[in-house]
Structure 1
Amino acid sequence: MIMKCVNELCSARSKLQSLGRMVGALLFLGLLTACAQNPVTGGRDFVMLSENQELEIGRQYHPQLVEQYGLYPDEALQAYVQELGERLAAASHRDHLVYRFTVLDSPVINAFALPGGYIYITRGLMAYLNSEAELAAVLGHEIGHVTARHGVRQASAAQAANLGYTIGAILVPELRAAPSQQLFNVLGGALLSGYGREHELEADRLGAEYLARTGYKPQAMIDVIGVLKDQATFAEAEAQKQGRDYQGYHGIFATHPDNDTRLQQVVLAANRYANLDNARVGREDYLRRIQGMVFGDSEAQGIRSGNKFFHRDMRFALTFPENWHIENNPDSLIAIAPGGHAVIQMGASDLNRRQTPAEFIEDRLKISRLQDGQVVRSNGLEGYTGLTTMQGRQVRVTVMYLRDKAFIFVGGARESRQFVEFDKDVLETARSLQELAPEQYHLARAHTIEVVTVGPDDTYEKWARESPITNSPESQLRLLNGDYPDGQLVPGTLAKRIRGGSE
């Protein structure tokens, strides 16, 4: 039996070696037939998609992205970003494409591009920019990704890595085993991970060139990186305090440490295209354009205010434990205890049958029996709660009915020994659910950006005391104005502060 296994192993190894040579030859032939001229460098790139296919990717996924994030409902702002983007694109290496620039209604700090000229920036990122030049730098960077065909090149590399595995899986059944698949995935992933750093740097180099050719200082690219680095530093510190993972912006500052020097070099090189004496900054014009822009949560997704949450469309209010971090996701609310020691997740689902909350748990959640199950009555609402085990951990499940919806709460502690300590917080959060009365609708209005002239007595400390921002308001106000971590307001200049929805 042992010799049989050894012989099979040797046979498989021989097949793999032969396969390796075959796959290598096939991939080499693919390389010869899939090389296309790089629009930027004029050199040859490995791509497996034609320009027509590239454009089709953008057409296909653009509606899905818009549906997922939503357009920011400000036609004037959308037109402003489109016009600025078109000027930058006209100076690019692929000026024959029709570019579309879209402001997404998302508080997330991000910008990205689809192949084919579809470019997106969130209102979340726009809130932290302080000039038209900085906005141009972000758009120029994303145009750089399109002109250098970064998305297509990555897709081609992924296809090549997948091709190697697919051929192998067909010819050698042993490759279909999970460990072999993982190996090929790792190799494919390593191939792709190397692209990220160089592509981001190339996009910054191209963006700086397009800035210069359009009348802006290339330095704006570095200014934007500074804005994003400050935001990342703040967000990472907040995440550490709350015991949760930090997911940063996708840009070049998140990669290897020597990028700062290389970034300075590529931006400096773009100065030869610039008229530095007459370069446009556009600070006042930009700030005027974002006056009144929504900051943070939108009314459609509900508003966080301290440890409270208000949703006008769904007409409910909720109170979480003090000092817990609240994440407002499209399909759920998640509250995380300080240090990450416990978590509560809440979602809502339509009611379709006339059944009790206990029956709903069994029928819809497929939990046949809860330990210590009991009826919950609070704020005129009825529900049911009890304990169960999920992935080896004890959790509390509570369902509360409000009109035609079931609000589902699931919560527990990271460590089993802490469950009793946090269980009361989980239950009290569910019990806090209540209907939002018409006279409370103002509590569910979005916060907005207010651009004001700084007065002689204005300070960040004073603005923080008056701010509706509940999480580190002083630091967030400094971030908004490019003064993080310890800059001060300058009387007579324009600055951004946040106006509460109920004001």
Structure 2
Amino acid sequence: MRIHFLPVAALALCSCFRNPATGKMQLDLLSESQEVELGKQAKQEAEQAYGIYKDKPELNQYIADIGKRLSAESGRPSLPWSYEIVDDASVNAFALPGGPVFITRGILGHLNTEAELAAVLGHETGHVAARHSANQMSKQQVAQIGLGIGSILSPAVASAAGAASAGLQLLFLKYSRDDETQADELGFRYMTKVGYDPRQMVPLFEMLDGVSKAAGAGKTPEWLQTHPDPGNRLEATQQRLKTELKGSPEGMKVERDKYLSMIDGITFGEDPRQGFFKGDTFYHPDLKFQWKLPSGWAHQNTPQAVAAASPKQDAILQLSPAGKMSPDEAAQKLFSQQGFKAGQPVNVKGAKLARAFQAQTQQGAIEGVLAFFSWQGNTYLMAGYTPQGGLSNYANTFTDSMGSFSELTDSSALSVKPGKLKLVKIDRPMSVTEFHSSHHSTAKLEEVALINGVQQGGQIPAGYAKQIVGGTQ
């Protein structure tokens, strides 16, 4: 999918305008209609890439209702705003130009009040209202990315071949620290205007800091990958509370019990029914197949594809659905794309059709093997590729791994269940250590403390507390 921007030569025709959300003058690189269209296309790709969480329809409506109230205060209420939960275990939220806002079920499981939720949604609403992602996209001219090969590569690995679509690139644009500061300010303003206690921004940022520390050295949580900490976020929020919170905050909404009751039973952590790794083997209980990946390769499972990268990062294997087309039809469609060249047939166990191929991407030429499998009435494409000249090093690795695609019959793998967040009523404050020892949870003590918003030595207040049951933690 290609999204066209104003060419660089046309920038002279652009004008400055006063952003109604921020009150500041900024360069108008995109008209509002272009911004909305950009977001509309990117929204469809985001929904396909992540999947929408549908297990609790009432929770989706709850999120949408809060978002609607916040967007009404954004200065841009006429945008086609939408607020959706994506079926992703990471602690994250993101916004797209023109109105779409997404929040992961992962971050929902880590929040403890409706006011914290409003702070997250308000922050993302601020990014849209201030046109942060639209401006970042315009500056980077990401629309030029993406060739025909983009249609077979998963978002998780497409960038390795220089073929990520423009829409999905929007999800990975990194905001500037100034953008983050501004979104914090706008989120503070919006949530306060609709009656939420902005002091709940403090435990939100403390939770995000806890997630960052729990990730360990060298690992950056998804939120911070695109939302860099301006450096003094917590201190700035506390100062803002002193200077801008006028009058008594009593009576402002927090809604702890209401929020917790809404997320009771939400899926927590990775959902093994959608596929999981055990060692170097990928199992998909719902689709009843298994696939052995090369030993030592890094791997990832997304709603669109399963992908693995070689230790040297010079080869990729991936499996993705090709729909209801027959293997022959899928192959014909693929090889008719610009930049593709079919090679000799290849022998891959179980495949209906397999061929070598060459393709040209923005990052250079690649070559590899494509294999098409029929499974449960659908066609699946398995692709192994490497920079041109490297196929001889990986040809056998590709075909051996592809040939391991087979039916899953292991009853233990077929019967796995996802973890669920469960509420427990406690009639007195309880230390997190006591709670963890007296209420069985499949999560570790550190995670139970984090999702309940307390330090490991702290106390969970009387009322509802969270535990995790089931799953493969």
Same fold (TM over 0.5): yes
Counterpart-to-counterpart distance in 1, 2:438 and 2:279: 14
Q: Quick one: distance in 2 between partners of 1:197 and 1:26?
A: 28
Q: Could you tell me which residue of structure 2 aligns to residue 150 of structure 1?
A: 132
Q: Confirm or deny: 8 A CA contact 2:91 2:107 kept in the other structure.
A: yes
Amino acid at match of 1:479: L
- Name the % identity: 30
What's the offset of the Cα at 1:259? 4.3
Shift of the alpha carbon at 1:25?
11
The 1:89–1:346 alpha-carbon spacing in structure 2 relative to 1, beyond 3 Å, is closer
In structure 2, what is the equivalent of residue 289 of structure 1? 262
Q: Aligned in 2, Cα 1:119/1:344: closer, same or farther, shift over 3 Å?
A: closer
- 1:204 equivalent to 2:194? Answer no
Structure 1 letter corresponding to 2:177: R
Partner of 2:470: 500
Tell me if structure 1 keeps the 8 A contact 2:60–2:84.
yes
Conserved? CA contact 1:130–1:286, under 8 Å: yes
Q: Which structure 2 residues correspond to residues 211-230 of structure 1 after superposition, within 5 A?
A: 211-230=191-210
In the alignment, the residues of structure 1 paired with residue 373 and residue 435 of structure 2 have an alpha-carbon distance, to the nearest angstrom, of 41
**Aligned match for 2:84, one of 83, 102, 111:** 102
Q: Deviations over 1:18-44 (max 9, x none)?
A: xxxxxx9996x55xx410111034332
Q: Deviations over 1:289-320 (max 9, x none)?
A: 01111112235522468998642222146799
2:151 corresponding residue in structure 1: none
Q: Which moved more, 1:209-218 or 1:284-293?
A: 209-218
Q: Does structure 1 residue 54 correspond to structure 2 residue 25?
A: no
SS at match of 2:89: coil
Deviations 1:350-378 (A, max 9, x none): 895999646969944679xxxxxxxxxxx
| 2:403 counterpart of 1:452 | no
CA contact under 8 A between 1:133 and 1:280: conserved in structure 2?
Answer: yes
**Contact (CA 8 Å) 2:201, 2:237: kept in 1 or not?**
no
Match of 2:447 among 473, 476, 488: 476
Normalising by structure 2, we get a TM-score of 0.66
User: What is aligned with 1:78?
Assistant: 60
| 1:264 lines up with 2:220 in the alignment | no
What SS does the aligned partner of 2:253 have? coil
Deviation at 1:490, TM superposition (A): 3.5
**Which residue identity does 2:420 align to in structure 1?**
T
User: Residue 494 and residue 235 in structure 1: after superposition, are their counterparts in 2 closer, same or farther (change >3 A)?
Assistant: same
| TM-score, normalization by structure 1 | 0.63
Aligned-residue offset at 1:141: 0.6
Match in the other structure for 2:147: none
Structure 2 CA distance for partners of 1:259 and 1:84, relative to 1, 3 Å? closer
Equivalent positions of 1:270-309 (< 5 A) are 270-272=244-246, 275-298=248-271, 301-303=274-276
1:136-157: CA deviations, max 9, x gaps? 0001111111222223333444
Secondary structure in 2 matching 1:495: strand
Contact conserved, 1:319 with 1:433, CA < 8 A, in 2? no
Contact 1:47 1:152 in 2 (8 A): no
CA distance in 1, matches of 2:109, 2:424: 15
Deviation at 1:258, TM superposition (A): 4.1
Which of 217, 220, 223 is residue 249 of structure 1 equivalent to?
Answer: 223
1:43 and 2:29 correspond: no
> In 2, are the aligned partners of 1:131 and 1:282 still within 8 Å (CA)?
yes
Q: Any stretches of 5+ residues in structure 1 without a counterpart?
A: 1-23, 163-191, 368-390, 392-398, 411-426
**Correspondence for 1:128:** 110
Name the CA shift for 1:269/1:139 in 2 (closer, same or farther; >3 Å): farther
How far is the alpha carbon of 1:287 from its aligned partner? 0.7
Of stretches 104-113 and 489-498 in structure 1, the one that deviates more from structure 2 is 489-498
Q: Which has the higher helix share?
A: 1
2:395 maps to: none
How has the CA–CA distance of structure 1 residues 136 and 407 changed in structure 2, closer, same or farther, with 3 Å as cutoff? same
Which of 133, 139, 142 does residue 121 from structure 2 map onto? 139
* Distance in 2 (alpha carbons) for counterparts of 1:56 and 1:401: 36
Query: Match for 1:209: what amino acid?
Result: R
Q: Distance in 1 between matches of 2:374 and 2:40?
A: 42
Please report how far the alpha carbon of residue 440 of structure 1 lies from its aligned counterpart in structure 2 after TM superposition: 5.7
Instruction: Select 2:286's aligned residue among 296, 301, 313.
Output: 313
> Aligned equivalents of 1:457 and 1:157: distance in 2?
50
Per the TM alignment, residue 283 of structure 1 is displaced from its structure 2 partner at its CA by 0.9
The residue type equivalent to 2:104 in the other structure is T
Inter-partner Cα distance in structure 2 for 1:26 and 1:315: 53
Q: Cα distance, 1:159 vs. partner?
A: 5.7
Q: Would the alpha carbon gap of residues 308 and 260 (structure 1) be closer, same or farther in structure 2, given more than 3 Å must change?
A: same
CA deviation string 1:116-172 (max 9, x = no partner)? 222111111111111100000001111111222223333444469x9xxxxxxxxxx
On the 8 A contact 2:424/2:466 being kept in 1, the answer is yes
Amino acid at match of 1:451: L
Counterpart contact for 1:115–1:146, Cα < 8 Å: yes
Task: Report the alpha carbon displacement of residue 325 of structure 1 after superposing the two structures with TM.
Answer: 8.6
Structure 1 distance, partners of 2:383, 2:43, is 34
Q: Secondary structure at the residue paired with 1:449? A: strand
- Residue 476 of structure 1: how far off its partner (Å): 2.0
CA distance in 1, matches of 2:136, 2:405: 48
Residues 115 and 255, structure 2, Cα contact 8 Å, conserved in 1: yes
Q: Mark the CA change 1:256 to 1:37 in structure 2 (over 3 Å): closer, same or farther.
A: closer
Spell out the pairing of 1:302-451 with structure 2 (5 A cutoff).
302-303=275-276, 310-316=283-289, 327-330=300-303, 347=319, 352=327, 357=348, 363-364=354-355, 435-436=408-409, 441-443=414-416, 445-451=417-423
SS of corresponding position for 2:223: coil
* Aligned CA distance change for structure 1 residues 344 and 500 (closer, same or farther; 3 Å): farther
- 1:281 is paired with a residue whose SS is coil
Which whole-Å CA distance do the structure 2 matches of 1:146 and 1:403 have between them? 42
* Residue ranges of structure 2 left out of the alignment (5+ in a row): 1-7, 145-172, 329-344, 359-365, 367-371, 385-399
